[in-house]
Amino acid sequence: MKVAFEKYGKGMPIVLLHAFPLSRKMWKQQINVLVESDCYVILPDFRGFGETQIASDKTTMEDLANDIRELLDHLEIEKAIIGGLSMGGYVTLNLYRLHPEKFAAMILADTSSLADTEEKRLGRFSLIEKTLTHGMNAIIEEMLPHLTSDYTKACNPDLIKQLEKEFLQTDPEGAIAALRGMAERLDHTDMLPEISVPTLLIFGREDKVTNLDGARLLNNKIPNSKLEIIEDIGH
Q: Compute the least distance from the CB of residue 146 to ligand MLT, in Å.
A: 8
No. of helices (H) and no. of strands (E), the chain: 9, 7
Cα–Cα distance, 49 to 171 (Å, whole number) = 7
Contact call for residues 203 and 215 (beta carbons, < 8 A)? yes
Give the nearest distance from C-beta 207 to ligand MLT in angstroms.
10
SS3 label, residue 62: helix
Applying the rule CB under 6 A, the residues between 15 and 54 that interact with ligand MLT are 19-20
Is position 195 an interface residue for ligand MLT (rule: CB under 6 A)? no
Beta strands, E only, the chain:
5-8, 12-17, 39-44, 80-85, 103-109, 199-204, 225-230
Longest dimension (CA), the chain: 46
Q: Tell me the closest approach of the beta carbon of residue 196 to ligand MLT, in angstroms.
A: 26
* Contacts with ligand MLT, 84-123, as mask; x by CB under 6 A: --xx------------------------------------
Out of 35, 209, 212, 217, the residue judged to bind ligand MLT by CB under 6 A: 209
Count of residues interacting with ligand MLT (CB under 6 A): 7
The nearest distance, CB 26 to ligand MLT, in angstroms, is 10
Q: Is 165 exposed, middle or buried (0-12, 13-18, 19+ CB in 10 A)?
A: exposed
The CB-of-86 to ligand MLT minimum distance in angstroms stands at 3
Q: Which is nearer to ligand MLT, 92 or 225 (CB)?
A: 92
CB of 9 or CB of 94, closer to ligand MLT: 94
Instruction: Give CA–CA dist 107/39, Å, rounded.
Output: 14
Alpha-carbon distance of 152 to 118, in angstroms, equals: 31
How far is CA 11 from its chain centroid? 23
Q: Which is nearer to ligand MLT, 145 or 193 (by Cβ)?
A: 145
Chain residues in the site for ligand MLT (CB under 6 A): 19-20, 86-87, 182, 209, 235
